[in-house]
Structure formats: C-alpha cells, structure tokens
Amino acid sequence: MFLVGCLNGELVATAMAGYDGHRGWVNYLAVAPEQQGNGFGQAIMAEVEKLLGEAGCPKVNVQVRGTNTSAIEFYERIGYRVDDVVGLGKRIEQDNEG
C-alpha cells in the first residue's frame, strides 16, 4: 500500500505498508518537517490501520532505529508498544545507513 496525504495540493505525508498474511508492516512513514505535529502522521497511520484491518490483518509491526527517539515517542503516543523481539538484518549492499 502506498498512501499520500496532501494539503492544498502539497504533499505533506506518505506511508508504505503491507500485509504478508501474518502481520502488517509499516515500512516507511514520513511527514514534511514543517507539518510535523499537525496530526498528519496520526491520520495516515489511522488509515493504514483501517486498510490493514479490512484485509484481515491482526497486528501491525513497525521497525524504528533505537536512536530515533522522536519516532519511537510518536508511535507510543498512538498506541504502539515495544515488543520483546529481536530484529535481525543483513546488509547486502553497503551504504551510509550502517
């Protein structure tokens, strides 16, 4: 799923989400810096959750870097909690994200 939020013809928020038949995933959520704090992130996440729920999805997962405290605080404010899981990854192409 690709969702976009616009205000007066300007792009203010985007999200990319999916459902693998077991869990829903929000892979990317972005809100224009000058629009953060105006409810666009909450609105687009509510729409993601609605669409995933309609698809039969029982749970939504989001991965956030541990150092991104503002994103973690955002998700906690809208009802997400830290799961007792370990995320594993293997970079197959080097970039600056580490």
32 and 11 in contact (C-beta within 8 Å)? yes
5 and 30 in contact (C-beta within 8 Å)? no
The pair of structure tokens assigned to 69 is 């405290």
| Amino acid 97: pLDDT | 63
Burial track 19-50 (b if 16+ CB lie within 10 A, e otherwise): beeeebbbeebbbeeebeeeebbeebbebbbe
Which residue ranges form the domains of the chain, and what is each CATH number?
A: 2-77 (3.40.630.30)
| Amino acid 94: pLDDT | 82
Tens digit of pLDDT at every position of the chain (98 positions)? 999 999 999 999 999 999 999 999 999 999 999 999 999 999 999 999 999 999 999 999 999 999 999 999 999 999 999 999 998 989 998 877 65
| Amino acid 96: pLDDT | 73
Query: Does this model's pTM top 0.95?
Result: no
Which single residue is written with the structure tokens 């594993």?
88
